[in-house]
């Protein structure tokens, strides 16, 4: 069924990240298992009705519309590949229309919440405290994603130029400037880090045992610290990314500039962050315009 060829196609031709390739492979295997249980021997025999039954099964088992659409992206991609190599004449997934998704407006942290946390005292000689605060500072000051933070290498940090090189989705690189305060913090952190990990580990952020940090650890750190200054239900590294974009736009940053900093490929992805800024703008407008009193 050319699955291995498809995986190589995603890796080397489409240049998808290892995370995306792994997710696509998992979703494809789920679909294969379902169709085989329905008596479909080969993918070339799959009909649109089989796809529709799978979608119904996913929904009945509690998958959200967003999750179903994500899984279907893998299936549609695979059928397009089979068309490309001449194994199919008609794509059965072409009739599938993505399920409607209600966009959830994420509430960013307020400026006071962030500053209250970042201005709070911590032991600069304690490795974990220094690391945790630097993580928070970087996420808020650069808007990088959690995975980008985790995979940040020491050689990606240029303290002389005051910038970091970030490897984003599909291995796209972007350069983000650093605030002077963060440069100073990185220098102090590196001295502590060298004692814990040494030169054998390339990643900037490591555990107290000298290993590369992992997603759940970063999530717990953000959750733990921000729970002390915020009553928000949703607290995560992505909320900090959302906060970064919102605060920049609130203070007059150009939307295209924010797009470049976030590493978005299209402006439409960045525009979701304008909602919170529009709320602020409406407040200013309502308080300042003479006719608002009428």
Q: pLDDT tens digits, residue range 68-126?
A: 999 999 999 999 999 989 888 889 999 888 888 766 667 889 999 999 999 999 999 99
Residue 211 — φ and ψ, nearest 5°? -100, 160
Tell me if residue 264 is catalytic: yes
Q: Name the active-site residue from 76, 241, 242, 259.
A: 241
Out of 83-97, 124-138, 162-176, 266-280, pick the least confident. Answer: 266-280
Q: Name the active-site residue from 25, 70, 169, 232.
A: 169
Out of 82-91, 122-131, 162-171, 274-283, pick the least confident. Answer: 274-283
Asked whether residue 289 carries a pLDDT value surpassing 60, the answer given is no
- pLDDT band at residue 277 under the 50/70/90 scheme: low
Domains of the chain: 3-95 (1.10.150.130), 111-286 (1.10.443.10)
Tell me if residue 241 is catalytic: yes
What would the mean pLDDT of 128-141 be, rounded to a whole number?
Answer: 97
Q: Name the active-site residue from 2, 165, 238, 275.
A: 238
């Amino acid at each position: 069924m050319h699955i291995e060829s498809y995986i190589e196609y995603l890796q080397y031709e489409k240049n998808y990240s290892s995370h995306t390739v792994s997710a696509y492979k998992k979703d494809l295997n789920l679909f294969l298992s379902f169709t085989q249980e329905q008596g479909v021997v080969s993918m070339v025999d799959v009909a649109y009705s089989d796809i529709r039954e799978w979608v119904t099964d996913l929904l009945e088992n509690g998958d959200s519309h967003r999750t179903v659409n994500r899984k279907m992206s893998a299936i549609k991609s695979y059928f397009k590949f089979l068309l490309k190599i001449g194994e199919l004449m008609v794509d059965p997934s072409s009739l599938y229309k993505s399920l409607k998704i209600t966009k959830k407006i994420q509430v960013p942290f307020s400026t006071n919440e962030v500053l209250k946390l970042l201005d709070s005292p911590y032991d600069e000689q304690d490795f974990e405290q220094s690391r945790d605060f630097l993580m928070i500072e970087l996420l808020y000051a650069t808007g990088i994603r959690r995975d980008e933070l985790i995979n940040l290498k020491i050689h990606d940090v240029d303290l002389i130029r005051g910038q970091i090189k970030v490897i984003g989705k599909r291995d796209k690189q972007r350069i983000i400037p650093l605030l002077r305060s963060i440069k100073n913090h990185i220098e102090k952190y590196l001295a502590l880090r060298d004692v814990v990990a040494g030169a054998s580990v390339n990643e900037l952020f490591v555990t107290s045992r000298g290993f590369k940090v992992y997603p759940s650890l970063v999530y717990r750190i953000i959750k733990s610290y921000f729970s002390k200054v915020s009553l928000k239900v949703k607290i995560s590294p992505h909320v900090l990314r959302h906060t970064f974009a919102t605060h920049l736009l609130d203070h007059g940053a150009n939307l295209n500039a924010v797009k470049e900093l976030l590493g978005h490929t299209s402006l439409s992805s960045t525009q979701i962050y304008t909602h919170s800024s529009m709320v602020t703008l409406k407040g200013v407008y309502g308080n300042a315009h003479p006719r608002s009193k009428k």
